[in-house]
């Protein structure tokens, strides 16, 4: 008989303090289990990273995978917290920097012979005494978003798992499991479709399963989120590779418990390096820029200018929801930019008629749109469209469809039939947002390795010292600028720096 224990987590989302406590408990578990002759495999089901944490954001996720490695993890599934916002290009750096294997078999290149994108492994085999344990990984395809934004393919998860499981069996693996970032419902479908799997360690849906769910003979395990639980699955396997006994549980992690010191030291080193980066000067502004969601503002116009320059277009527009604060006059540090923008939006460019541009401005002027605070913007109000190369008149009190007028391109009245090059971000350019209904994805050129903060940083460093456009490009008649009911954006104060 072989005794194997799988320790598992998922959806930690950069809750570092709590994770350090979890790592301490995991260390105790490993010591106790090894002492009684059990083999231990420690895995994560994806999304350890989260752009809400500066250290995670600046490293594009790599810092959080370094913590997994320091805490004794053997392997992690690929979540969506790094590849979607920052681009698949970051995965190779994450794997190299952390030294942690990243499993994902259903995110492939578009080569004639597709293989996992650089940085990913389709499967891994772990030796537990005489027994070979095979693991493959799957990630959610986000309704085709990966294939839209990147030159990759996302084959069917179930068929991919079927093929990988067979390969692992052919390589002598007696035990085969899946690290899944598909969510609980799809994990159930996977278990029904592949009854020969032994277990699925899942994430993505933040599901708390206090005990394994048995679908046929397949064990499905989820440990919730935010490092609140450490999952433990004990398996007893006979010489034929059959699970003859199993027991699973979730171990609650106290919020006031001790932390794993080796991992805490790695975290302190990451923090110190991050602070050095944040203190670096990236440019100079001759005047401060403010932020407002209901009128023209310096910060919004600065971002629009940066997008227009980055994508080399005639005009640009963008929401203020990408931004959280203005910037002070004088030296601008990377820390200032991080506080000013945490958006994961990628710059993009397309060609639009004058009529389409006017429609976008009018849609953006609808209070039912710009006063929203969607989850994607982390609490920021969407705001009206800020512009570069454009000016327009906005009357908040006018009826729907008549709020925007006198739209001009470089001082000339916009021609409804003329086609203009337009820069923006994926937030505004994707058809579901309805700024530009019917815009085909293939008609947009996205620069996916870049995010908004990096566009601003490049613009500031290129044109420093920069004199921002202080003249408002949106004219609002007197008495027509009072309807805003979203959050108040506080100015940048010296103490914030």
Reported as a single tens digit per residue, the pLDDT across 393-413 is 999 999 999 999 999 999 999
Rounded to whole angstroms, the Cα distance separating 68 from 81 reads 15
Is the separation of the CB atoms in 150 and 87 below 8 Å? Answer: yes
The yes-or-no verdict on residue 35 having pLDDT over 80 is yes
CATH topology of domain 281-496: 5'-nucleotidase;  domain 2 (3.90.780)
For the domain spanning 2-275, the CATH number is 3.60.21.10
Give the residue-averaged pLDDT of 155-183.
98
**CA-wise closest residue to 485 among 323, 373, 387:** 373
Which of 83-87, 121-125, 360-364 is least confident?
Answer: 83-87
Reported pTM: 0.88
Rounded to whole angstroms, the Cα distance separating 296 from 317 reads 12
Split at pLDDT 50, 70, 90, the class of 148 is confident
Q: What is the pLDDT at residue 431? A: 82
> Is the C-alpha dihedral spanning 281, 62, 71, 80 positive or negative?
positive
Domain ranges within the chain, ordered by starting residue? 2-275, 281-496
The yes-or-no verdict on residue 480 having pLDDT over 60 is no
Tell me the residue length of the chain: 497
Q: What is the pLDDT at residue 482? A: 39
The yes-or-no verdict on residue 19 having pLDDT over 80 is yes
The yes-or-no verdict on residue 240 having pLDDT over 90 is no
Burial 64-101 (b: 16+ CB within 10 A, else e): bbbbbbbbbbbbbbbbbbbbbbbbbebbebbbebbebb
The yes-or-no verdict on residue 331 having pLDDT over 90 is yes
Split at pLDDT 50, 70, 90, the class of 354 is very high
Rounded to whole angstroms, the Cα distance separating 266 from 276 reads 16
With 0-12 / 13-18 / 19 or more C-beta atoms within 10 angstroms meaning exposed / middle / buried, residue 323 is buried
**Which tokens belong to 436?**
């530009």
Rounded to whole angstroms, the Cα distance separating 162 from 273 reads 43
Query: What percentage of the chain reaches a pLDDT higher than 70?
Result: 96
Give the residue-averaged pLDDT of 471-479.
86
With 0-12 / 13-18 / 19 or more C-beta atoms within 10 angstroms meaning exposed / middle / buried, residue 334 is buried
User: Cα 274 from chain centroid?
Assistant: 19
């Amino acid at each position: 008989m072989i005794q194997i224990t799988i320790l598992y987590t998922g959806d930690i989302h950069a809750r570092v303090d709590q994770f350090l406590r979890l790592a301490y408990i995991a260390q105790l578990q490993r010591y106790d289990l090894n002492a009684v002759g059990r083999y231990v495999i420690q895995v994560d089901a994806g999304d350890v990273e989260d752009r809400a944490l500066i250290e995670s954001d600046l490293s594009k996720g790599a810092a959080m995978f370094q913590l997994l490695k320091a805490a004794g993890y053997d392997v992690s599934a690929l979540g969506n917290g790094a590849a979607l916002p920052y681009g698949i290009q970051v995965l190779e750096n994450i794997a190299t920097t952390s030294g942690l294997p990243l499993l994902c078999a259903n995110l492939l290149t578009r080569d004639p012979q597709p293989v996992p994108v650089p940085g990913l492994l389709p499967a891994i085999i772990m030796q537990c005494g005489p027994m070979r344990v095979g693991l493959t990984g799957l990630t959610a395809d986000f309704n085709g978003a990966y294939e839209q934004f990147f030159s990759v393919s996302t084959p069917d998860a179930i068929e991919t798992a079927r093929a990988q499981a067979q390969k692992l069996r052919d390589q002598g693996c007696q035990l085969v499991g899946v690290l899944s970032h598909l969510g609980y419902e799809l994990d159930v479908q996977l278990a029904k479709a592949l009854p020969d799997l032994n277990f699925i360690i899942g994430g993505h849906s933040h599901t708390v399963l206090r005990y394994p769910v048995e679908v046929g003979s397949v064990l499905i395990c989820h440990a919730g989120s935010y490092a609140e639980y450490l999952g433990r699955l004990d398996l007893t396997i006979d010489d034929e590779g059959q699970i003859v006994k199993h027991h699973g549980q979730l171990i609650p992690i106290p919020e006031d418990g001790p932390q794993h010191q080796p991992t805490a030291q790695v975290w302190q080193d990451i923090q110190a390096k991050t602070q050095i980066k944040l203190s670096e000067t990236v440019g100079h502004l001759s005047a401060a820029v403010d932020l407002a969601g209901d009128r023209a503002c310096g910060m919004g116009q600065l971002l629009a200018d940066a997008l227009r320059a980055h994508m080399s277009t005639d005009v640009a527009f963008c929401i203020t929801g990408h931004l959280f604060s203005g910037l002070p006059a004088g030296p601008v540090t990377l820390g200032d930019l991080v506080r000013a923008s945490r958006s994961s939006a990628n710059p993009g460019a397309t060609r639009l008629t004058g009529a389409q541009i006017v429609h976008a401005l009018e849609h953006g002027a609808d209070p039912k749109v710009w006063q929203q605070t969607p989850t994607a913007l982390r609490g920021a109000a969407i705001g009206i469209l800020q512009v570069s190369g454009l000016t327009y008149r906005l009357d908040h009190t006018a009826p729907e469809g008549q709020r925007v007028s006198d739209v001009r391109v470089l001082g000339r009245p916009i021609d409804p039939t003329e086609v203009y090059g337009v820069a923006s971000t994926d937030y505004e350019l994707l058809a579901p947002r309805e700024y530009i209904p019917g815009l085909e994805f293939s008609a947009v050129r996205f620069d996916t390795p870049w995010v908004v903060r990096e566009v601003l940083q490049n613009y500031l460093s290129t044109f420093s010292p920069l004199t921002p456009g202080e003249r408002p490009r949106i004219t609002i008649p007197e008495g027509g600028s009072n309807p805003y009911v979203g959050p108040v954006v506080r100015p940048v104060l010296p103490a914030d720096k």
